[in-house]
Structure 1
Amino acid sequence: MAICDWPRGEGPRDKLLQRGAAALSDAELLAVLLRTGRAGCSALDLAMALLHRAGDLATLLAMDANALADEPGVGPGKYAMLQAAMELARRSVEQHLKQADVMSSPRRTRQFLQHHLAAREREIFSCLFLDSQHRLLRCEDLFFGTLDGAAVYPREVAVRALQYRAAAVIFAHNHPSGIAEPSAADRRITERLQAGLGLLDIRVLDHIIIGRGQAYSFAESGLL
């Protein structure tokens, strides 16, 4: 059944319009995006089936087209719609960070990084390059690894920072395990990066580790 065919006032779209998007469950929000289900299965039923298969919303949104193609009723159009929604959310937060002092809004910074890194299946080391007012100049994924880690090269970070004329940086990487706790290697590379960039008068403001629904800040933990 399509969303538009639900009895007036009873469907997730009507609920959203009457009570706001925050009042909807993950399945109901997903149903609004999907719009239609399949034969004998409403959009809400399809949304619930997808969430059950993936385990949670973040994992579902990270699935590629081939993985979703096995689910009846999900074709390229629905996959494109889900990816577009995810990218719109990421860009919305990124644009705010480009207009304001990143350090004055740690919640938005973490929200952006969650959108950007949390659902990745391998470890990715990203850098947020900031100007002298701590506004975002660029976010760049610099190093890619396996489930166990990524090799990080301070020289490459320095080259990029100089290229963008950054006055400060925030490092971020994800832990595919979902646990946002720093390893001994995370601590060592942070110290090396801080020492190397310090020689160039580029401040390291934070290193944030992104897990599943959680984040660890080196700055807040007194490690910077």
Structure 2
Amino acid sequence: MSTKNGLMIRDFPQDERPRERFMQHGPQSLSNHELIAILLRTGSKEESVLQLSNRLLTQFEGLRLLKSASLEEMTEIKGIGHAKAIQVLAAVELGRRVANLAYNERYIIRSPEDGAKYMMNDMRFLTQEHFVCLYLNTKNQVMHKHTVFIGSLNASIVHPREVYKEALRRSAASIICLHNHPSGDPAPSREDIEVTKRLSDCGKIIGIDLLDHLIIGENKFVSLKEKGYL
């Protein structure tokens, strides 16, 4: 793990070595690139593992884009082979699963905040619009989650048939629709409102209520029910 100056990780003072600081002060004491350095384990002949991890984060502009990095994108970085890339991506996936642990066993939605919390981590970083439906039982427990389509929201694309077909198949009592705004601004558009009213009207006819339509932004959301469109 020599650097250009011949400096290796063992040459750093002990209180600057990620593993030692982890053991002494816990993971919260480490920066993002130090945590990634632990995953990478080794650097290269040209740079230390700390330099490599810092360059990796710089390449993806921080954790936001790293969260969605592919194996191919990771291995394009000099010094990152398949083994290192897989270690990092596996850790990212574990983090995502841990974040969702609380919601896996029949999550109950009692308010717009509950619905937004259930999907926020999955949807707020998406670079395309995703229209997702949650199918609930009579106790407002989530029985199933289904992505209806990916792309710009359009009333002709979000057809009630596709939304309610799954509801009928699952014997759902009600549904909640969500979609994200990649811009980060969850303010509803005219199309958002039109789609909501159309889905609500169809749900009333077949007896499956549309409880809400939530628009997910950058760690914030808008409930079209609270806005008076349902």
After TM superposition, the score normalised by the length of structure 1 is 0.78
Counterpart for residue 102 of structure 1: 109
Change (3 A) 1:105 1:156: closer
1:48 to 24, 45, 54: 54
Counterpart for residue 129 of structure 2: 123
Say which is worse superposed, 176-185 or 91-100, in terms of deviation.
Answer: 91-100
Q: Give how far 1:185 is off.
A: 0.6
Q: Rg: which structure is higher? A: 2
Change (3 A) 1:17 1:128: farther
Question: SS state of the match for residue 143, structure 1?
Answer: strand
Question: SS state of the match for residue 110, structure 2?
Answer: helix
Query: Aligned runs of 1:8-27 on 2, under 5 Å?
Result: 8-27=14-33
After TM superposition, the score normalised by the length of structure 2 is 0.77
Q: Give how far 1:19 is off.
A: 4.4
Question: Does 1:179 pair with 2:173?
Answer: no
How many percent of aligned residue pairs carry the same amino acid?
34
* Structure 1 stretches lacking a partner, 5+ long: none
Change (3 A) 1:104 1:175: closer
Query: Aligned runs of 1:108-147 on 2, under 5 Å?
Result: 109-145=115-151
Q: Supply the distance in 2 between the matched residues of 1:33 and 1:106 (Cα, whole angstroms).
A: 35
Query: Aligned runs of 1:1-224 on 2, under 5 Å?
Result: 1=1, 8-97=14-103, 98-103=105-110, 106=113, 109-145=115-151, 148-149=152-153, 151-224=157-230
Which residue identity is paired with 1:113?
M
Change (3 A) 1:213 1:79: farther
Q: Give how far 1:123 is off.
A: 1.8
Deviations 1:55-87 (A, max 9, x none): 231212212222222211223333333433343
CA RMSD of aligned residues (A): 3.1
Q: Supply the distance in 2 between the matched residues of 1:220 and 1:14 (Cα, whole angstroms).
A: 50
Count the aligned residue pairs.
220
Q: Supply the distance in 2 between the matched residues of 1:70 and 1:175 (Cα, whole angstroms).
A: 30
